Chains A and B, each alone.
Chain A
Amino acid sequence: MADIHAPDSVGVVVPQTLQFDQPLQLACGRTLESYQLVVETYGTLNASKSNAVLICHALSGHHHAAGYHSAEDRKPGWWDAYIGPGKPIDTNRFFVVSLNNLGGCHGSTGPRSINPQTGKAWGKDFPMLRVRDWVHSQARLADRLGIEQWAAVIGGSLGGMQAMRWALEYPERVRHCVVMASAMKLSAQNIAFNETARQAIMSDPKFCDGDYLSHDTYPKEGLAVARMIGHITYLSDDGMGEKFGREIRSGSFAQGIEEPVEFQIQSYLRHQGDVFSDSFDANTYILMTQALDYFDLAREYDDDAVEAFSRAQCRFLVVSFTTDWRFSPQRSREIVDALVGASKQVSYAEVDTAYGHDAFLMPIERYYRLFQAFMQGIELS
């Protein structure tokens, strides 16, 4: 039950929209002349501005990481389990900044926004983005907020990629980097899942080659299937088995009755796809999955991850989850090995859980405590 007055909740929060008019040069070669970022902040920036923490969201995330948007809100932000007074990202100590990334569909400039040059929605013409573009836009956000250096940059999955890129692009601006359930680059299997999801969207007749907005339609079915595919990979076989097993929602196996059976997992997945496709944009989904596919931390460092991380100056915490097969513990171990090879400060934990990739979002006691221990060790001036 939602409790906006809980002592460990940040309570009701109000997002704000910030306008940026300095052109942003993108990795694809194009330039965004101006853009908006939607941001939420929790806690208070201290006088020395040494307590700012940046939250980088994953594929389907957004700025609303903690608290509620109104007293009637039923669900808190997506990382409320870890952000709030006394929680690992302790808002009594830290000033927490959470944004919707460029290309998103929750208020920041993205495919649904109006392209000032045409007066129409960008749609499929929105520039392709890479993880570094998000990092550079987040650096502009830090400038705007007067934050010279982050106490920590934190992210899971695609968010972890942003956190790592921060440590390489702006080494002097990051003191701690927390990377959960992430990887230095996607595996072929991972790209394959993303491609299948994109094909589900593109093969929906209402996708209209990405131009669905001007046709006043929407590839809801395709996006729902894309989400269903993704969702399967975010859970573990064990977790799904525990939660759903072969439970039947309707129908019967009785002989002599011709009645189709619907398993609980079918209805659950369809519900997930349905809810998601109501609130997400298909072009954003394609853009975000492409950013995931293209990310390769060490590409520009001769494919040498040790060389890449040698630039970093911050202390790292890397966490993986045993049943995460989308970003398996092995991917995290590769990050840790490269950091050790570069003689960087790093701790690594492999948390035993049945939650799969989604575990980084879930309240898990061990994960909570080690994350908290790490965050409490961050010195503020």
Chain B
Amino acid sequence: MTAVVSNNTFVGDLRIDLSVIQEWIAGGSRVLDLGCGDGTLLASLRDHKQVTGYGLEIDPEQITTCIARGLNVVEQNLDRGLANFADNSFDTVVMTQALQTLREPHRVLEEMLRVGKECIVTFPNFGHWRARWHLFFNGRMPVSDLLPYEWYDTPNIHFCTFRDFEVLCRELQITILQRQVVAEGPFSRFLKETRPNLFGETAIYHLTRR
């Protein structure tokens, strides 16, 4: 179930994690992208897989960029929920690198699986060895390239490890269809085959309610 790829690798002009997501999404499907940023994923899905859909975003600059790219982008704060979207109204609901910024990630996850038949989630691994090293030896919250914020001033308010996330999925009776783990450097890439929770930097989960 687990495969390992590098975070900074690009497939064409698409970051590797987005490229993995693109592979998982069926051509011509209807997608909702939560926290769509500048619309890179949606534009690629539109151009390469005839996907239709909408991005939700709250950053004004990013919204303008999406509009300039001809994408459908809706200004909506994910913390306000997805109540305005009907059950099963999308084939896939995607959320990349936003889970840890949400006030109630578990609720949003459930909402994603109400609105979408499937969902894809990516998030940074707080169990990565460098984060553990930082906390263990410095006794301070990790600040790194991956997690560049001080604890008091960070959008990332709900960190978890891969293992934490999978426990949550079990509790919420969510089925994990696929998982890919992204990491950097040949050393980590090799080691995370066996110890993803220690060496994986980003996880990409493909989930469903079945």
Contact = CB atoms under 8 A, between A and B. Distances in A.
Interface of A: 317, 333, 336-337, 340-341, 343, 345-350, 352, 366, 369-370, 373-374, 376-377
A346 B84 contact: no
A374 B72 contact: no
A350 B56 CA distance: 12
Nearest to B67: A373
A349 B67 CA distance: 10
Interface of B: 30, 52, 54, 60, 63-68, 70-76, 84-86, 89
Contacts, number: 49
Contacts of A350: 75
A78 to B, nearest CB: 24
A351 to B, nearest CB: 8
A283 to B, nearest CB: 40
Nearest 3 interchain pairs by C-beta = A373-B68, A373-B67, A348-B74
Contacts of A337: 84
Contacts of B74: 336, 340, 346-348
Nearest to A365: B60
A111 B73 CA distance: 43
B72 A345 contact: yes
A333 B56 CA distance: 13
A251 B52 CA distance: 64
A343 B29 CA distance: 12
A349 B63 contact: yes
Contact of B67 (A336, A343, A352, A374): A374
Contacts of A348: 73-76
Contacts of B65: 373
Given A369-B64, A370-B63, A373-B64, A347 B71 contact: yes
A348 B70 CA distance: 13
16 contacts: A317-B67, A333-B84, A341-B89, A346-B72, A347-B66, A347-B67, A347-B74, A348-B73, A348-B74, A348-B75, A349-B63, A366-B64, A370-B60, A370-B64, A376-B68, A377-B67
Nearest to B73: A347
A376 B65 CA distance: 12
Contacts of A346: 54, 72, 74
Nearest to B70: A377
